[in-house]
Chain A
């Protein structure tokens, strides 16, 4: 309509949920050739908000773009939030070029979370991740390790293309591998000099190890990996109700209004990104 004076009214500036906070990047770690982990706090040096494992936030460089990223740090971290970001386009390129001290905008947290305080409590947990898919699971893993007494056994199966493509390798080796009662299985796709661990894709390694079914599984990674992991787990006797994953769809608003991430009657930004496989089975296969 153009002439509507309201859009440019002089009204009050009650903060809309779409209006972000300012985040300061305080640390950037190069994880792999195309993944960096960014540590972000508010201008006051404090954590921007509280979140639960599996939730995401919209990170943006104004003028460049805004996109959804999993919060990879654990809620038990009281100092800051971290995002592991893969370079794959305009915004992520720009973020990869930034330095500590630079500012971004952040809004969130968005979405549901892994049910760490309900369904997962007291359970044996098996985490299966591929590549950047470790980002959302890392938040849960560190949460569980910090509240170790609330959970049963913890097993982690993680694979990437190559040794260089394993995200958070330092934390995996220095913290997870050394925590009692935690079993870590690493694998890379192809033989490589300097690697004496397992070689092979995540789904086939899964079958080789042959986990017992007395546990809940959390799986994140590329869609193709998830597909084969799921069928592997089915063969091993797991039920779909025992398996959680996250869905990744294009997002704009993050609050179930812009329509972007709609599948069936669900909005992945608001009703997800965490779903159990039996819930996914009820959705049209548009993910």
Chain B
């Protein structure tokens, strides 16, 4: 069922959601837009196409406590961190970032389930916005993602003065129910023209026609042994930016933080681009940046798809394309390996 709300009244919609659930949405702070908790004062920014950081830390925070331990008279005690028990809404996600959550689900919800992640997923409602002005760095189409019809709990479109709202799942319908007094029924066809337009812009984007067949058809070891990695990696600074901004990168570290009463064991994002990622007493299995660079892209384009029925661990969001200080990125890798479309 399609609904709509006047865009000028979105503040009321947000307030109504926030009354019942935590609401995260793109907020502009110091000229940078990222997902943040909604407040009346927040400068909501639905125009910026892509947040600098992806919304993945709504589900897989950059750092989170797993448990606390303390030692008293030689006796250890362990106190598990509480799981998320508050419903929350992530509003304004893009189709690519929604797909990225599915990429993470495959890893974190597989047996044995990561209960911290699972609790957040259970309590989350994903509200996505169609991308009316896709950018040159976008290549979601390559991964079969339709930015004109994001596959979230609720999809929204901004057409004219209105924001159109359509629930696609039970969770989405429940959210519609919560805010129903702010919504008025609308015609399904109201967004069709906008959708056609989005699809036609996307079709003309420079990276929309990259081909991924080479990664499906070439034997893994042939790709691994390719001379192209050596040609490509050189400018890489091993800064890890590409992994931190990436909505699908899921590597983490587990570390300890000493508090005044004990030890907090937390996990935090880590990066396969760092030289100590695989360091061991008897050596390091990836001693050169070439090997680490290759690992990141082989994982996204070959290893992950091998484990998950061909699904790639890249959603074409373009964050690594715009943020790498050395102008390296997955598009270059795809093209260099033979995926020029």
Closest to A16 in B: B115
Q: How far is the CB of A212 from chain B (nearest CB, A)?
A: 32
Q: Could you tell me if B252 and A6 are in contact, using CB atoms closer than 8 angstroms?
A: no
Residues 251-272 of A, flagged 1 when their CB comes within 8 A of B and 0 if not, give: 0110111111011110000000
Query: Is B119 engaged at the interface, CB distance under 8 Å to the other chain?
Result: yes
Contact A253 B254 (CB under 8 A): yes
> Among the listed B37, B65, B71, B221, which residue makes an inter-chain contact with A7, where contact means beta carbons less than 8 Å apart?
B65
Query: Closest CB-CB distance, B211 to chain A, in whole Å?
Result: 22
Q: Shortest beta-carbon distance, A258 to chain B, in Å?
A: 5
The answer on a CB contact under 8 Å between B307 and A265 is yes
As a 0/1 sequence over residues 1 to 33 of chain A, the CB contacts with chain B under 8 angstroms (1 = contact) are: 101111111111111111110100000000000
A263 to B294 CA separation, bound complex (whole angstroms): 11
Distance from B254 Cβ to chain A, minimum over Cβ atoms (Å): 5
- With an 8 Å Cβ cutoff, the count of chain B residues facing the other chain is 73
Contacts A4-B58, A5-B86, A10-B85 given; indicate if A255 touches B277 (C-beta within 8 A): no
Q: A234 on the interface (CB 8 Å rule)?
A: no
Q: Which of A59-67, A135-143, A148-156, A164-172 contacts B (4 or more CB under 8 A)?
A: A59-67
Complex-state Cα separation, A248 to B284, whole angstroms: 11
Question: From residue B269, how far is it (CB to closest CB) to chain A in Å?
Answer: 10
Binary contact track B32-55/A, C-beta < 8 Å → 1, others 0: 001111000000000000000000
Of B35, B78, B221, B270, which contacts A22 at CB under 8 A? B78
Name the contact of A257 in the complex, choosing from B37, B71, B119, B250 (C-beta under 8 A).
Answer: B250
| B108 → chain A closest CB, angstroms | 6
Residue of B nearest to A10 (CB): B82
Nearest residue, chain A, Cβ from B249: A259
A250 within 8 A of B: yes
Residue A9 contacts which of B83, B112, B220 (CB distance < 8 angstroms)? B83
B152 adjacent to chain A (CB < 8 Å): no
Say yes or no: is A249 at the interface (Cβ < 8 Å to chain B). yes
Within 8 A of A (CB), among B267-318: 267, 270, 272, 277-283, 285-286, 291, 295, 298-299, 302-303, 306-307
Bound: A89/B282 CA distance, A: 11
Known contacts A62-B263, A286-B291; A6/B57 CB under 8 A = no
Chain B residues closer than 8 Å to A252, beta-carbon distance: 252-254, 270
Contacts of A264 in B (CB 8 A): 220, 224, 303, 306
> What CA separation (Å) do A8 and B69 show in the bound complex?
16
Asked if A13 and B85 make an inter-chain contact with CB atoms under 8 angstroms apart, the answer reads no
Q: Hey, which chain B residues are within 8 Å of A88, CB to CB?
A: 281
Q: Beta-carbon contacts of A57-90 to B below 8 Å, as 1s and 0s?
A: 0000011111000000000000000000000110
Judge whether B114 and A16 touch: CB under 8 Å.
yes
Asked if A223 is an interface residue, CB under 8 A from chain B, the answer is yes
A284 within 8 A of B: yes
Judge whether A3 and B36 touch: CB under 8 Å.
yes
Nearest CB of A to B306, in Å: 4
Known: A249-B278, A259-B251. Contact between A64 and B78, CB under 8 A? no
Q: Does B120 contact A (CB under 8 A)?
A: yes
B270 to chain A, nearest CB (A): 7
Given the complex, which residues of A lie within 8 Å of B88, measured CB to CB?
Answer: 4, 6
Q: Are A17 and B112 in contact (CB under 8 A)?
A: yes
Inter-chain contact B66/A19, CB cutoff 8 Å = yes
Please give 8 more A-B residue pairs, beta carbons under 8 A apart, in addition to A1-B35, A62-B263, A64-B256.
A12-B83, A12-B85, A17-B112, A19-B66, A62-B262, A66-B254, A105-B69, A260-B278
Which B residues are within 8 Å of any A CB, using their own CB?
22, 24, 34-37, 57-58, 61-62, 64-67, 69, 71, 74-78, 80-86, 88, 107-108, 110, 112-116, 119-120, 123, 220-221, 224, 250-254, 256, 258, 262-263, 265, 267, 270, 272, 277-283, 285-286, 291, 295, 298-299, 302-303, 306-307
Interface residues of A (CB under 8 A from B): 1, 3-20, 22, 62-66, 88-89, 101-105, 222-223, 248-250, 252-253, 255-260, 262-265, 282, 284, 286-287
Nearest 10 pairs of A and B residues by beta carbon: A11-B85, A259-B251, A6-B84, A11-B83, A62-B69, A265-B306, A62-B263, A63-B263, A3-B37, A16-B115
